[in-house]
A and B are shown apart, each in its own frame.
Chain A
Amino acid sequence: MIPAPFEYEAAESAGHALELLARHGEDAKLLAGGHSLLPMMKLRLAFPSVVIDIGRVGELAGIRADGDDLLIGATTCHADVAASDLVRSQAPLLAYAAAQVGDPQIRHRGTIGGSVAHADPAADLPMALVALGGSLEISGPGGPRTVSADDFFAGFFETSLEPDELLTAVRVPRRPGPDWGYQKFVRRANDWAIVGVAVAGGRIALANMGPVPVRAVAAEQALAGGASVADAAALAAEGTDPAEDIHADRAYRQHLARILTRRALEHQTG
């Protein structure tokens, strides 16, 4: 499969990428690792007339501490997030989630910003960022802005990014403790989560239980009120309306959400 023809522009800096976005508008798509965009272009589900490659913009990659947070450049690949001593010690849930994406080859190319901007509700990193209470750093013609992960995901494969904006970095609070858990239910190696659960310090996020990564609010509130893990987990699917597909119907996904939430809460480890 070969993508439809497009014009290729290699951005030299974040500012240059913004200029190119301003020039080409909605006809353009940003390319970093290409592991979400290229498969869609090959299937002709996406056919941008201009592709702006930000994969070699050095200032958009890298991991550093920033006060109480970690700041991870948008084009940092999953393998680098997973292997980073800083992330492993300061945000172990995020390191673990990055190591669950796809397979080693995919983790060498796919980027944290790409995964987040693609906003697949079954993906690992959007769910992990919601559980961690992370936020997204965005640059645009109006200057920079920061959006919480809770507000960033707007719908099925839809975010609050505007066509002329660039996701520059992912910000997560440092959370070095062992109070996190992660569960992903798949049928085969490499698969997307049929349901996923990420837990961090009382916040519970679910993957593939709706059009966006959702919080299991009823379960969180029960936990905060002193309920047992089993009683809280029993509420994990409250208010969810997961899609049905060949892998699972609604009731089965809700069942999985409850079971996986219990396991994630029980196995909160470092």
Chain B
Amino acid sequence: MQIELTVNGAPRSDEVEPRLLLVHYLRQRCGLRAANVGCDTTSCGACTVLVNGRSVKSCTMLAVQAAGQEITTAEGLATGGEMHPVQQAFRQEHGLQCGFCTPGMVMAAAGLLAENPHPTEAEVREGLEGNFCRCTGYHNIVRAVLSAAEEMSA
């Protein structure tokens, strides 16, 4: 069926099979490969994108459910060639090791800070409960999110 939606600010119209998952639509049809398919069971968060500004696991959403919605992937976070503060902070604080979870972590963090601009460390940890880092690099990730929060409110 035909869906119309906005992906990273640009309107799109695509013919999709109803069973196509949003993550596969983004990766295969839009060529946006930041969102990774990790566990494929709504657990790991590697496929996290923003739907109307809220973090969502795109392995557990159909592309047809995204019709009429605004989707943002990690590719769409930067504006005017400037990295988003969360991206900058992940780089600054070395908030990644192998990098597989990173796009999902960054999107979950961006969604978290949109809802709660001044989280405590505990709130950051709880807010990233849906994202797994199998390198267990959580300390720097949390540090990066706190640093981004500070930067964004400065």
Stretch of B5-13, B55-63, B73-81, B139-147 lying at the A interface: B55-63
Q: Which among A3, A5, A189 has the greatest number of chain B C-beta atoms within 10 A?
A: A189
- Tell me, yes or no, whether B93 is within 8 Å of chain A by CB: no
In contact, B129 and A8 (Cβ under 8 angstroms): no
Docked pose: A62 CA to B35 CA in angstroms: 30
Q: Which of B62-88 contact A (CB under 8 A)?
A: 62, 64-65, 67-68
Task: Taking A38-B60, A42-B41, A108-B55 as given, write out 14 further A-B residue pairs in contact, using a Cβ cutoff of 8 Å, ordered by the A residue number.
Answer: A2-B24, A3-B19, A8-B64, A10-B67, A79-B54, A103-B45, A103-B131, A105-B45, A105-B108, A108-B51, A108-B56, A108-B111, A190-B43, A190-B130
Chain B residues in 8 Å Cβ range of A55? 65
Known: A39-B60, A109-B56. A104 touches B18 (CB 8 A): no
Report A100 CB to chain B, min CB distance, Å.
11
Whether A109 and B43, one on each chain, are in contact in the complex, defined by CB atoms closer than 8 angstroms, is no
Complex Cα–Cα for A2 and B21 (A): 7
Q: Encode contact with A along B29-57: 1 for CB under 8 Å, 0 otherwise.
A: 00000000000111101001001001111
Q: Inside 8 A of A202's CB, which chain B residues have their CB?
A: none
With A1-B40, A4-B19, A105-B48 known as contacts, the answer to whether A34 contacts B1 (CB < 8 A) is no
Question: Is the CB–CB distance between B61 and A8 below 8 Å?
Answer: no
Within the assembled complex, what's the spacing in Å between the Cα atoms of A47 and B60?
15
Give CA–CA (A2, B42) in the complex, Å: 13
Number of A residues near B (Cβ < 8 Å) is 30
Closest to B130 in A: A103
Selected A-B contacts with CB under 8 Å, 5 pairs: A2-B21, A102-B42, A105-B57, A190-B43, A190-B130
Which residue on B lies nearest to A37, using beta carbons?
Answer: B60
User: Given that A35-B60, A39-B42, A190-B43 are contacting pairs, would A105 and B18 also be in contact in the complex, using a CB cutoff of 8 Å?
Assistant: no
Chain A residues near B41: list those with CB within 8 A. 39, 42
Q: Which residues of B contact A4 (CB under 8 A)?
A: 19
B112 within 8 Å of A (CB atoms): yes
Instruction: Assess whether B117 is interfacial by the CB under 8 Å rule.
Output: no
CB neighbours (8 Å) of B112 from chain A are 104
The CA-CA distance from A3 to B19 in the complex, in Å, is: 6
Residues of A within 8 A of B (CB): 1-8, 10, 31, 34-35, 38-39, 41-42, 51, 53, 55-56, 79, 102-106, 108-109, 189-190
- A56 CA to B67 CA in the complex, in Å? 10
In the complex, the answer to whether A104 meets B62 with C-beta atoms within 8 Å is: no
**Chain A residues, Cβ within 8 Å of B129:** 103-104, 189-190
Q: Which of B19, B64, B65, B108 contacts A104 (CB 8 A)?
A: B108
B17 at the interface (CB under 8 A from A): yes
Q: Given that A42-B40, A105-B56 are contacting pairs, would A5 and B19 also be in contact in the complex, using a CB cutoff of 8 Å? A: yes
Evaluate contact between A34 and B61: CB separation under 8 angstroms. yes
The distance from the CB of A117 to the nearest CB of chain B, in whole angstroms, is 17
Instruction: Specify the chain A residue showing the minimal Cβ separation from B53.
Output: A108
